[in-house]
Structures are given as structure tokens and as C-alpha cells.
Amino acid sequence: MDPARTALLTDFDGTLSPIVDVPSDARPLAGVPQVLSRLARRFASVTVVSGRPVPFLWDRLGDVAADPSAPVRLVGLYGMESAGPDGAPVLDPAAAPWVATVEEVADRLRRGAPDAVLVEAKGPSVTVHFRLAPDAAAWVHERTAAEAAASGLVAHAGRLSVELRPALELDKGVVVRAAARDRRAVAFFGDDIGDLPAFVELARLAEVDGTDTVGVAVVDGETAPEVAAAADLTVDGPSGALAVLTWLADTAAVAGSA
């Protein structure tokens, strides 16, 4: 891969940050912001694309995203939201009409949720976490299925969670496709079911467009088998992802100075 013609994209949770019991506690591994900054100075583009909202990502990675010389792009809510130059979230117009619906759904879910089930509203999407209440899994799946049927939202299973999102053609695959425009190569790092559209898009880019692609699955004991199967290679958790990203930064730096 020629870094100057390569788009590099990565997920956040489970990829740059360890999975934690309370979602708001998530932080990138030590060294991640510095490595992302180094990569952004060598690669055509570097994007962090996550199911998290942009304000969350900006709070963790705003310093590298705001670097005017080599900004890291932040994309939230699976592509429904992006960060402006000052970190302000920019919501896709197609997602905006769903915000009120999600607020109503989230309110109903909170009123009936068992203890330790966390209902996280994120603008046009809502995630119901049961990591701290695994015995509530059946309730979560039943209630989110009922809310999906009533509201028109679509249920997406995740790591000990279910997310309700609008039925829009906005996902990580769409983000990968946009980043790949006019690039010779694309790489993506991800760990969860929500990353599968990105891996699928890599395969399409390679087959249809002849783009050089690499998909890296960041795996642990919770990783769904289909995630690893969709990737070209696997690494062990966020520390493994950081090691590969560091290697890429080192290799690109050597190539750039040659």
C-alpha cells in the first residue's frame, strides 16, 4: 500500500478502546491518539467511525481531530453523524426526523427496564445495554423487537446490547465507500457485528473496483465468528490493533523519509 493513496478507517469501542461495563467509561488505549496523529500525517485519510455520537468521540479524540495540518476525521452513529471543524456534530438530514421517535422509544424502554439495564439515547438511535444485567437479555430482545415493530426503527444486535436505528442506507460500509473514492487502497479495523458492512464493502471494492483492501478483525472472547470470517486477518484485542497501527505509522514514516 502507498500510504499517500490509502484510506485508513477504524472503529472505536473494542478496537481502539477496551470494552467496559459502563459505556461512558470507555477511553482509547494509551498511545492511540499519538499513533492516529502520526498516521494522519502520512495516509491520504484517517477516519474513526463508530456507533458512538460525535461529542463522545470528540471528547476522547478531539485533539487529533482538530489538528489543522493532519486532522483525523470522526464519524459517529454508524455514519449518521460527522464532526465539524470545531467538533460540532453534523447530523445527516435523513436521520434528523427520527430524533423525536427515538426519544419516545427511549423513554418507554427506561420506564420498564430491569435494574442495571442501561438505555442510551443517541439522537436518531438508542442502544439498550445489558452487560451489567445478563439475565435481562430476553427482556431486552423482546422489548426492542416490539419497539422496532411499532416505530419503524430496526434492531441491531451488538456486544451484550441491542441498538434501534432508522432504516436508512447509512452504515459503516457507506463510510468506507466514501473514504475509498479516488484512493488506491483502503484498510479497516473493527470488532463487532456493526462493522460487518465495512468488511463487506471492502470485498466489493476489491472485486468490482480493483481497490487494494485489508480488513482487520480485532477479536476477543465475545467476538462473533462472522466478524473474524469477514476479515483478512485478526489481531488480539485493542492492544493488537494498536500494535498494527503503530507498525503502519512506523513503516509509513520510513517510506516517507526514503
Reported as a single tens digit per residue, the pLDDT across 63-121 is: 999 999 999 999 999 999 999 999 999 999 999 999 999 999 999 999 999 999 999 99
Which of the listed residues 142, 165, 188 is the one where a domain comes to its end? 165
Q: How many domains does the chain have?
A: 2
What's the pLDDT score for residue 254? 75
Same domain, 81 and 182: yes
Same domain, 101 and 25: no
What's the pLDDT score for residue 56? 97
What's the gap between Cα 203 and its chain centre? 18
Same domain, 161 and 173: no
Which of the listed residues 165, 195, 223 is the one where a domain comes to its end? 165
Same domain, 109 and 57: no
Same domain, 42 and 138: no
Same domain, 85 and 135: no
What's the pLDDT score for residue 1? 72
Report the number of secondary-structure helices (H) and strands (E) in the chain: 8, 12
Domain with residue 155: its CATH number is 3.30.70.1020
Same domain, 67 and 122: no
Domain with residue 10: its CATH number is 3.40.50.1000
Q: Is 7 exposed, middle or buried (0-12, 13-18, 19+ CB in 10 A)?
A: buried
Q: In the sheet where 118-122 sits, what is the strand order? A: 118-122, 125-129, 161-165, 154-158
Triad 172, 175, 179: Cα angle to 5°? 140
What's the pLDDT score for residue 257? 53
What's the pLDDT score for residue 49? 98
What's the pLDDT score for residue 253? 84
Rounded Cα distance between 227 and 21, Å, is 22
The tens place of each residue's pLDDT in the chain, 258 residues long, gives 799 999 999 999 999 999 999 999 999 999 999 999 999 999 999 999 999 999 999 999 999 999 999 999 999 999 999 999 999 999 999 999 999 999 999 999 999 999 999 999 999 999 999 999 999 999 999 999 999 999 999 999 999 999 999 999 999 999 999 999 999 999 999 999 999 999 999 999 999 999 999 999 999 999 999 999 999 999 999 999 999 999 999 999 876 655
- How many residues are present in the chain? 258
Q: Among 166, 205, 200, which Cα is nearest to 81's?
A: 166
Same domain, 196 and 152: no
Neighbours of 175 (CB within 10 A): 22
Q: Which domain holds residue 82?
A: 3-92+169-257
Cell of 126: 438508542
Which of the listed residues 139, 165, 191 is the one where a domain comes to its end? 165
Using CA of residue 18, residue 109, residue 49, residue 222, what is the dihedral sign?
A: positive
Same domain, 80 and 103: no
Which residues, other chains included, contact 96 with Cβ-Cβ below 8 Å and sequence gap of 6+?
A: 124
The conformation of residue 35, written as its DSSP 8-state character, comes to H
Same domain, 60 and 76: yes
Neighbours of 226 (CB within 10 A): 12
Rounded Cα distance between 219 and 203, Å, is 19
Same domain, 150 and 202: no
Same domain, 250 and 193: yes
> How does DSSP assign 107-163, residue by residue?
HHHHHHPPTT-EEEEETTEEEEE-TT-GGGHHHHHHHHHHHHHHHS-EEEEETTEEE
